[in-house]
Amino acid sequence: MTASISPGWLIAAAAVLTAFASVNRANATEAVAGRYIPGAFASPGAGIVPPTPGAGYWAMSNIYYHGEADGQVPFGKGSVAVGLTGDIYAAILAGVYVPELHLPGNWTYAVQLAVPLGWTGATAAVGPLGADQHVTGLGDIAFAPLVFGWHNDAMNTWLSASLTITAPTGEWKEGDLAFIGLNYWTFTPAIGFTYLIPQHGLDLSAKFGVDINTTNPDTDYYSGAMAHLDLSVTKAVTENLSVGAIAGFLDQIEDDRGAFADTHDGFRGRSIALGPLVKYKAKFGEKTEVDFTLRWAHEVEVENRMKGDAVFFDVSGKF
């Protein structure tokens, strides 16, 4: 496995696909839940698509998030929660395949599938009563049928463009505080960029995407589109060890639509998260390499969403 695959777009995309799947932290939107945690895409190699035709890659991303929300949060039709606190653990299993298309120039095409399994726990005051719920199960499965990559001849500048479709396959029930899925479809076009400076051991990466949602058919609530930008700077300390810093920015660019949102000025959400990154490349024999990446994203500023901390532990390799 080359350095280009490690914690690049494969891990980041996989992480994003389920981190959403809980009440615990995400965007303004319905139940302040969305498909993105700030910092989820912030990883070295975020703009790299594997350039080897016929190759397959695997990844497992583990995510833990704890967050708290001030004020009122909409749940279902007419339900409102106050004092919401949530925790989530999610394990996302992802695979990437590069078909043997042999595109002209330095272009690459790939497809990706990510399957999340998760646990969510949430507590809140609902009306005059308190509520404490937990749920475990399958999350919303995501598939990326369009993933294109390009690199220059020096292989130090990488660009990617992708479309990810997330289906409402996860467990969800109207009015529940804790859930694994979101009960609506999401379409996420995204672009990525990576610039490598080998002589200094540096990786500069960025990824920008927009989550475009459909309306929840059971609540008639529409969660407005979310734009998100993730940045990372990584420095190789040794041949196998790298350290760095990450940043994630979320900005809801479209109002929510629903009874609650209409009386709360569109209920748009924003967030900024910062944190460190550590990556280790383990070698098993002459040909097998496995990357381990640990990231922590601390939300420093939020609006109309949960505020908390996310820890990502990613493991990736080549079939």
pLDDT, position 6:
39
pLDDT, position 122:
83
When pLDDT is cut at 50, 70 and 90, the band that residue 3 belongs to is very low
Asked if 63 and 43 touch (Cβ cutoff 8 Å), the reply is: no
pLDDT, position 191:
98
Asked if 308 and 271 touch (Cβ cutoff 8 Å), the reply is: no
pLDDT, position 11:
34
| Cross-strand pairs, 103 | none
Does the pLDDT at position 283 exceed 70?
Answer: yes
pLDDT, position 179:
83
Asked if 249 and 107 touch (Cβ cutoff 8 Å), the reply is: no
Structure tokens at 93: 């299993």
When pLDDT is cut at 50, 70 and 90, the band that residue 207 belongs to is very high
- Whole-number Å distance between alpha carbons of 22 and 139: 9
Q: Which domains does the chain have, with CATH numbers?
A: 9-318 (2.40.160.40)
pLDDT, position 133:
84
What is the 8-class DSSP label of residue 92?
Answer: E
**Using alpha carbons only, how large is the chain's radius of gyration in Å?**
19
Residue 253 burial (10 A CB sphere; 0-12, 13-18, 19+): exposed
pLDDT, position 4:
37
> CA 199 from chain center: how many Å?
31
Instruction: Please give the average per-residue pLDDT across 299-308, as a whole number.
Output: 88
What proportion of the chain, given as a percentage, has pLDDT over 90?
Answer: 58
Residues 131-189 pLDDT 10s:
788 899 999 999 999 999 999 999 999 999 999 999 999 988 887 778 888 999 999 99
Whole-model pTM? 0.85
Structure tokens at 256: 């929510």
Mean pLDDT of the chain: 84
| Cross-strand pairs, 114 | 94, 142
Does the pLDDT at position 5 exceed 70?
Answer: no
> CA of 87: how far to CAs of 22, 119, 248, 281, 310, in Å?
8, 8, 20, 30, 10
Residues 240-279 pLDDT 10s:
999 999 999 999 999 988 877 777 778 888 999 999 999 9
Instruction: Please give the average per-residue pLDDT across 206-216, as a whole number.
Output: 96
Residues 34-75 pLDDT 10s:
788 889 999 999 999 999 899 999 999 999 999 887 766 655
Residues 77-117 pLDDT 10s:
555 666 678 888 999 999 999 999 888 989 999 999 999 99
